[in-house]
Amino acid sequence: MTDRRVVITGTGVISCVGSNVADFWDSLVNGRCGLSRVTKFDVSEYKTQIAGEVADFDIEKYMPKKDAKRMDLFTQFAIAAADEAIANAGLPQNIGDAIDPTRMGVVLSSGIGGLGTLTKECASLEERGPSRTSPLLIPMMIIDINSGQLAMRYNAKGPNMGIVTACATACHSIGESFWMIKRGDADLMLTGGSEASVTRIGFAGFCSMKAMSTLNDDPLRASRPFDANRDGFVMSEGAGAIILEEYEHAKARGAQILAEVVGYGATGDAYHITSPDPEGDGAARAIKVALGHAKLNPEDIDYINAHGTSTPLNDKFETKAIKKALGDYARKVMISSTKGTTGHGLGAAGAFETIACAMALKNGIVPATINYETPDPECDLDYTPNIAREVAIKTAVNINLGFGGHNGALILKRFEG
C-alpha cells in the first residue's frame, strides 16, 4: 500500500490576503501584507492591537444565515475554503455523485476552535445564568466539529477526525491524511486547518504571554520573520483546505494535479510548553523523518517554507533545526516565511503554507520573506529577502511547530506524471 502516490488536486483559501487561492497567491508573490488594526473589538487596552482579519466575509454565499448561526466562525471559514477546494478539484458538492463516499475522509482541524462562541456563552452564563446557555455551545466550540460538519456537507463517509497540535495542527492534519491514503484507508481526503481566534479572550491570552508584536503603529511591517528587530508574531484568521488524492484515482477522473506529497515527519520536543527546543533537535528530526519517507537527500530540497513566526525564539531555533537537518547544504537552500504577508494563522498556518509550497512548485516562483531589513547573526541563512524569485523548483518542504513541542514537516514535489 505504501507504493500508492498522493497528489494535491484542489485547494481553497480564506485569508487576510485573499479569500480565494488566486488572490492569496498573488499577495504572496507581490509581498502584499494583510495586517491592520483590529476592527472586531476595542483593542485600546491591549498591548497588541493589530491582526490579519478576513475582510468582507459573507457566509451567506455558502449557506443560509440560519444554518450559519449554528456554527462558530472557525467552521464557517473551513466550509468556505473547502467549497473552493472541492470545486477546484472538479468535484461536485455531493461527493457520492462522483466517487464512492466511503472512500473520502475529512481531517480539517483547528488549533484553538470556537473561542468566539465560548466567549459569548461565558458572558451569557454570568449575566443570565446556566439555564440560558445555548444547547449549541459544545457542538459549536469543539475542534473536531469542523470535520463533522464538512463530512455532512459533502457526504464523506471515510476517516473523520480532528487533530490538534496548536500551530502544527494543519501540517499534521495534512500529513496524517497523506498516510491514510498511502495505507489504503481512503482514496481522497479533505484536509487543512482553520482558525478564528481574533477575539477578546484570544488576544488577552497571547498578550499576557508577550508572544505577539507590539508594533501597533506599523502593522504592515510588524511581522518580520528572521529579522533582528522582530518582536513577536501577528495573529491572523481564516482557513486553508486541500484535496489529497491517490494518483490513479485522480488520473482516472481526469483531475488536474498541482503537486505530489512525498514525505511527512512528526516529532516531539519534550522540552517546554511554549518554547521550541533551543537546539532545534525535534524540528530537525521531523525534517529528517520526512526526507527518509520521501527517499530524498538534503541536496534534493530546493525550497523551505519555514514556520518563521517572527518571534525571537522560534526563528533562531528553527534556523538551528534547518542546519542540523540539512548540514552544510542549509546555506544553499532557499527559505522563506510567508507569515510576513499573512501573519500567523495558528491552526490554519500549515494549510496556508502547504498551499504556498504547491503554488511555488507549479508556478516556478519562491515567495519572499517580506520586512527583512536587519540581518540577525543567529539567523544567517538565505531567507529570500523581500523579493520573490522566479526559479523552477522541484521539491519543497513546509515546516510547522506548535506549543507543547509539536513538530511537523511535509515534503512536496513538482508533479511530473
* 16 catalytic residue (yes or no): no
Could you say which of 307, 357, 379, 406 is catalytic? 307
Distance CA 198, CA 210 (A): 16
User: Is 279 in contact with 285 (CB distance < 8 Å)?
Assistant: no
**SS3 state at 58:** coil
Could you say which of 171, 344, 357, 406 is catalytic? 344
Instruction: Report DSSP letters for 382-415, one per residue.
Output: ---BSS-EE---SEEEEEEEETTTEEEEEEEE--
User: Is 67 in contact with 140 (CB distance < 8 Å)?
Assistant: no
Could you say which of 33, 167, 357, 379 is catalytic? 167
User: Is 89 in contact with 243 (CB distance < 8 Å)?
Assistant: yes
The single residue listed with the C-alpha cell 481531517 is 107
Query: How many Cβ atoms from other residues are within 10 Å of residue 4's Cβ?
Result: 14
| Dihedral over Cα of 118, 122, 128, 131: its sign | positive
Distance CA 47, CA 211 (A): 11
Nearest residue to 193 via CA among 214, 171, 210, 208: 171
Backbone φ, ψ for residue 106 (5° rounding): -135, 125
Residues 6+ apart with CB under 8 A from 244: 6, 7, 8, 9, 174, 177, 178, 181, 188, 189, 191, 261
For residue 63, count CB atoms less than 10 angstroms from its CB and return exposed for 0-12, middle for 13-18, buried for 19 or more. middle
Total residues belonging to the chain: 417
Distance CA 388, CA 367 (A): 4
* 406 catalytic residue (yes or no): no
* 167 catalytic residue (yes or no): yes
Q: Dmax of the chain from CA atoms?
A: 63
Residues 6+ apart with CB under 8 A from 257: 7, 8, 9, 247, 250, 415
Residues assigned a catalytic role: 167, 307, 344
